[in-house]
Structure 1
Amino acid sequence: MNDERKAPAGGFDTSADVYERLESIRQSIDNIDAALIHMLAERFKFTQTVGRLKAEYGLPPADLDREARQIKRLRGLAEESHLDPAFAEKFLGFIVAEVIHHHERIAADASPDTPAA
């Protein structure tokens, strides 16, 4: 008799219980992904406000001192949370690059020297 199921140590267990567990775990992952997106949206609302203030007062879009402090802080949080600090730094770098891009756009839009599109 050819049974498609194998013991977990030997390969695949296609019983319904395994699929139910996978679905439950994946639903938790999906919920966390949704929360991350919502949190990033909230974060970007604040960084847009920062960008407008910087543009209003002629401050540069990037703040290297702030970025260095954030990297140090997030690497520490990552270590405490048993997350790879290098990953946390890369993740922050991606976010900061996008924030700077937004700040540059805000500054350009606020500049009286900017030609109309």
Structure 2
Amino acid sequence: MSGAEHPAPAIHPELKRLRDSIDNIDAALIYMLAERFKCTQQVGALKARIDLPSSDPGREAAQIERLRRLAEGAHLDPDFAAKFLNFIIKEVIRHHDGFRAAEQA
């Protein structure tokens, strides 16, 4: 008998419920990130148009601290939250740099 002939093992109903919840949360995260990037793209276009730098270290530091506090209140590792936001900020700055390059072309 080949592996394809064996039926898949039954998934425990509680495990399926939890995985379904995780899948829904993952989908919501993707859509929320897409909305966030739509806003930051508008910021990047505006910054390029009015000749502001792509990065704003003061705001970035304040946002990271704000997210750390939110994470603590949500019982999420604040270091993880800071790393996550730093990753997003780097990507946003990369996009902003692209707007600046297009504006200068």
Give the structure-1-normalised TM-score: 0.80
Distance in 2 (CA, whole Å) between partners of 1:102 and 1:29 is 29
More helix by share: 2
Residue 30, structure 1, aligned to residue 20, structure 2: no
What amino acid maps onto 1:72 in structure 2? E
The answer to which structure, 1 or 2, has the higher relative contact order (CA under 8 A, 6+ apart) is: 2
- The equivalent residue for 1:91 is 84
Percent identity over the alignment is 60
User: After the TM superposition, which parts of structure 1 deviate over 4 Å for at least 4 consecutive aligned residues?
Assistant: none
Number of aligned positions between the proteins? 97
Match of 2:34 among 10, 35, 41: 41
Distance in 2 (CA, whole Å) between partners of 1:90 and 1:68 is 12
Distance in 2 (CA, whole Å) between partners of 1:19 and 1:57 is 57
What amino acid maps onto 1:95 in structure 2? I
In structure 2, the gaps of 5 or more residues are: 1-8
Match of 2:71 among 64, 75, 78: 78
Match of 1:101 among 88, 94, 97: 94
In structure 1, the gaps of 5 or more residues are: 1-14
User: Pairwise CA RMSD of aligned residues?
Assistant: 1.3
1:6-61 deviation digits (Å, cap 9, x = unpaired): xxxxxxxxx95x61110110000000000000000000000000001100011000
Instruction: Please state whether the residue corresponding to 1:58 is helix, strand or coil.
Output: coil
Give the structure-2-normalised TM-score: 0.89
Larger Rg: 1
